[in-house]
Amino acid sequence: MTHRPKKGEFPNDLRLTTVVKPEPRKNEVLIKVVSATITIDDINFAEGAELGGIPIAPSPSSKKPFIPGIELSGVVEEIGPNVTKFNVGDSVFGGSGSPLKRKGAWAEYCCTKEKILIRKPDYLTHSEAAACALAGVVAYAAVIQGCNLQKRHRILIVGASGGIGTLAVQMAIQQGAYVIAVCSKKNKALVESLGADEVIDYTSTSFVEALSKENDNKLDFVVDLVGGKEIEKGSMKVLKRSGTFITIVGPVRYVGDKLLGWMGIAKLIMYIGWRMFHSQFKGPKYRFVGATRATYPFLIEMFKPHSIKPVIDKTIHFNEKEISEAINYVRTHRATGRVIISINHT
């Protein structure tokens, strides 16, 4: 993209074009991209709506176009002089780096730092690995780091059928927790197949109503992957006083869809800070988590038992028409698992 599209116009402004093949810097790896994902974050970054309508990245130009794509899987084509973890020919997956650099994974080649790459397990295809890239990091941060799960802990996961939620469910099960998942009726069978002990259909009843009969068996953790104060409020009713509420979104649902302005963002940050501080004195605790580079070395441990299997909603070809249609689909927030772009073949 050579200019920033207005809200909702991203698909119309997307163009496939030829650019100079990137060269890796000293701590970067050049990857021949096999698979990439289309996420709501890609859409928000492209439209400058990633922080409540406040763009944090410079506007693209003809000299420095914006290439979307924050998750990828592929094969190492070239390494920078300071790279030590990978060699040419290695299959890897991970993030494409900060969107501020404007050079993402929706391309045949992408340079990214070795710190945010993981060697691809053989049991995962490139499409499956791409679906685990940043989604896996966020799920790990929420379920493993945020909860410190132990066997027999009871955990509720809200938004269990999405790209992050399907991984979060499996990670919680891997830790031996009793997992209660919240999703729509059409995705209930899918989430059950992932191993959830209970599934609550939010279209027919709220999780508060569904769990109201279990007053003597309240939850240790609630992981919120959707956002909104109503979920936070309901979670406080079903958590133990010593329990923890973990959110990756905060009090505003689908914050990238809103035009909050600087004042709205300031209030959002203040609310999260106040809740985290106040909950230290009066439980349940409130935690806000997100993806960090420090998570990558630990994430690979989750794949060693070969028990994490990402969910893929659909795979599309690398052309303007199919990508534009997929962007509009992902924007509905109804995708089950990840939407994958197949770019190069191995």
Per-residue pLDDT of the chain (346 residues; tens, 9 = 90+): 666 777 777 888 888 888 889 999 999 999 999 999 999 989 888 887 776 666 666 677 777 778 999 999 999 999 999 999 999 999 999 999 876 677 899 999 999 999 999 999 999 999 999 999 999 999 999 999 989 888 989 999 999 999 999 999 999 999 999 999 999 999 999 999 999 999 999 999 999 999 987 666 799 999 999 999 999 999 999 999 999 999 999 999 887 777 787 888 889 999 999 999 999 999 899 999 988 878 888 888 888 888 899 999 999 999 999 999 999 999 999 999 999 999 988 7
Q: Could you tell me the domains of the chain?
A: 10-132+309-342 (3.90.180.10), 147-288 (3.40.50.720)
Tokens of 321: 């028409």
Question: Cis before residue 310, ω within 30 degrees of 0?
Answer: no
For residue 206, what pLDDT is reported?
94
The secondary structure of the chain in percent helix, strand, coil, rounded to multiples of 5, reads 35, 25, 40
Instruction: State the Cα angle at 148 between 201 and 40, rounded to 5°.
Output: 50
For residue 100, what pLDDT is reported?
67
Give the DSSP letter string of 64-133: S--B--SEEEEEEEEE-TT--S--TT-EEEEE---GGG-B-SSSSEEEEEGGGEEEPPTTS-HHHHHHHH
pTM of the prediction? 0.92
For residue 224, what pLDDT is reported?
97
